[in-house]
Structure 1
Amino acid sequence: MHNRSFELALLGVLALLWGSSYMWISLALPSFPPATLIAIRVGLASLVLLVILAVRGLTLPRDLYSWRLFFVQSLVNSTGPWLMLAWGQQTAGTAVSSVLNSTSPLWVFAFSFLLLNSGLRPGGRQLAGALLGFGGIVLIVGVGALEDIGRNLVPQLVVLFGAALYGIAALRGRLFASYPPLVTATGTLICASLVLVPLSLVTDRPWTLAPDRIGVLSALMLSIACTAFAFLIYFRLLNTLGAMGTASQAYLRSGVGVFLGVVFLSESLDLETFAGICLAIFGVVLINWPVKRKLQVTPSMGKEVS
């Protein structure tokens, strides 16, 4: 039995790690092109997890079925969404991309009715939380960002499709319940590396780059903290909080970005943004509010049993 308070604390840590990744990416991009930076991110993270795997005495599965699961998960969890966001954000606009990229809990809710049986689908309270959290994101980014939706339709749709892939990735978490989170994270990132590293070598010729110290340190933080350890937490939470609960960290990421800006960049916090953060947090609380188990009365004993 898992301690729910601890799992929710891990959800906050995951939001902090993935929310801070935008800062590390912005610091690393002057030194590394997008494809190379993503390749470094997954490649180095894979090596870190392989070392941890060896220290823990665990081994990766050798059957084709497991690696097929890992490969598909890498496409919907990292390779696809990251490349789509990197390409789409260039012309879709940062604010609009932030709003569209935060829709993954809504996609989880929608896809659950197509992919799950009725007993596993989220309920009305989780839908309310997803809608409130999305409203909070709109306030954080700025309502004016919605005016740009549709102006660069194709890249915006690409970003939106990337968020949909995150939703599919969260729902597929049930397929990995029998694997330790460390094994799932390692296998998924290895598969992502097999796609992204060759892509980087072909498109960017990274051996010709001359990165500065800030770029290298930022890439290291992005790889080790925001990818290797974040993926460990992510696959654990899929087993403990479920797809909807884990996806709700998307609503906390923007708040983390604002917090880091206020603390480290001396940015101001206006009332609309503060209200958005509160609304997003309230949405996450609703999504992860524990469901009361129904009690039944047995006629023979007259006692309540769960």
Structure 2
Amino acid sequence: MSTATPSPTHAPPSASSAPSGTPPVATPALAAARAPRVDWRVRFAVLAVVWGFSFLLIKVGTSAYAPFQVTFGRLLFGTLVLAAAMAVRRTGLPRGIRTWAHLTVAAFFLNALPFSLFAFAELTIPSTLAGICNATSPLWGMALSLVALSEDRPTRRRVAGLGLGFLGVLTVLGAWQGFSGVDAAGTSMALLASLSYPIGWIYVRRTLAGRSESHLSLTGAQLMLATAQLAVVTPLFTSWPKAFPLAPLVAVVALGALGTGFAMLVQYGIVSEVGPTTGQMVTYFIPVIATAAGVTLLDERLTWNTPVGALVVLAGAALTQSRAGTAPRVPRPEGRGRRRAQR
């Protein structure tokens, strides 16, 4: 669920969509000392599973707790994980009123709003559908970036991917049969949640890109602010739970500690090691795992158009993220350039 750190209910950030500091120059000795003990492919698989299961955990959590309570618990336990990581690495919080103001906006669009919308959505739609709706985030991001980011130019391939992706959404929802059997309100909230992520990423890119603080510092502060936002909203719209059933409680704790805090740490580790292009590929595995988890563990019904539409959505999302290769420029011989200049 994605952030300046995405989370599945996240799509992962690209190099320019999340705040980044300037990494130190890595010498061979330093690189060897910092080499991760676990291969990035293993961590990639773990991240896909954790984020894929997040939709199932939301479904289990909302079976006993109000959506705002699930979201608050998720943010709280996620923040505790990042706070512990910051303490271990002796990472301080960012400074400056403007930085905190920008992080407050980012916390709303990347955490508080989408997490809450997914929790409310899963009151009426299956976790499989929520996971597939989350996969539309790159489609929304591409559409918004064409309007908001002047450096992102449309290409035939990316426009085709956008159209293909939304055709996949219509397939998932069964548009040819009048969207029968699909809860319109819940589906709309899940799609709005996926739209919220690229809005947040574009805002972060415009306001926080190039900051000297580390990813951990900015993300930790962002999650703290999102937790504070839900701490204000939750008591206003919910009452204290009368009971704390074990399974939903464990689901909320796991959703926060693993699906948010731990997943963010793993995601940024992968991106820093193999780059954002490979790191963001985890997005395409999340709906597959979410669907498998919902069908096998929650006995959710699966019709043919759901997996077929999901594959179309993922194909379209992949096209929107691809860029056509450009031929390298071959410099002209210096002598020829001089002769032409003299002429």
- Separation in structure 2 between the aligned mates of residue 254 and residue 138 of structure 1, nearest angstrom: 16
Structure 2 counterpart of 1:125: 157
Q: Is the 8 A contact 1:74 1:189 kept in 2?
A: yes
Q: Structure 2 length as normaliser, TM-score?
A: 0.68
Q: Is the 8 A contact 1:46 1:186 kept in 2?
A: yes
1:199, distance to aligned residue in structure 2 (A)? 2.1
The answer to whether residue 179 in structure 2 is matched with residue 147 in structure 1 is: yes
Deviations 1:229-279 (A, max 9, x none): 33345667888437xx94992x64432222223554567866544433443
1:66 paired residue among 91, 99, 102: 99
> Within 5 Å, which residues of 2 pair with 1:51-90?
51-87=84-120
Structure 2 counterpart of 1:241: 276
The answer to whether residue 202 in structure 2 is matched with residue 171 in structure 1 is: yes
- Separation in structure 1 between the aligned mates of residue 269 and residue 100 of structure 2, nearest angstrom: 19
Amino acid at match of 1:190: M
Q: Is the deviation greater in 263-272 or in 219-228?
A: 263-272
2:74 paired residue among 36, 41, 45: 41
Deviations 1:22-68 (A, max 9, x none): 21112122332111111111011111101001111211112112211
2:149 paired residue among 101, 107, 116: 116
- Separation in structure 2 between the aligned mates of residue 31 and residue 86 of structure 1, nearest angstrom: 12
Secondary structure of the structure 1 residue equivalent to 2:179: helix
Aligned identity (percent) is 24
Cα RMSD, aligned residues only: 3.9
Residues paired across the two proteins, number: 291
Residue 145 and residue 215 in structure 1: after superposition, are their counterparts in 2 closer, same or farther (change >3 A)? farther
Deviations 1:277-302 (A, max 9, x none): 44344334434446534411222359
Q: Is the deviation greater in 78-87 or in 51-60?
A: 78-87
Where structure 1 has 5 or more consecutive residues not aligned to the other structure, the ranges are none
Q: Is the 8 A contact 1:15 1:253 kept in 2?
A: yes
Q: Is the 8 A contact 1:70 1:191 kept in 2?
A: yes
Amino acid at match of 1:196: L
Report the structure, 1 or 2, having the larger helix content: 1
- Separation in structure 1 between the aligned mates of residue 220 and residue 196 of structure 2, nearest angstrom: 19
Secondary structure of the structure 1 residue equivalent to 2:91: coil
1:177, distance to aligned residue in structure 2 (A)? 4.4
> Within 5 Å, which residues of 2 pair with 1:132-281?
132-140=164-172, 142-143=174-175, 147=179, 160-174=191-205, 175-178=208-211, 179-206=213-240, 208-232=241-265, 240-241=275-276, 246=280, 249=283, 252-264=285-297, 271-281=304-314
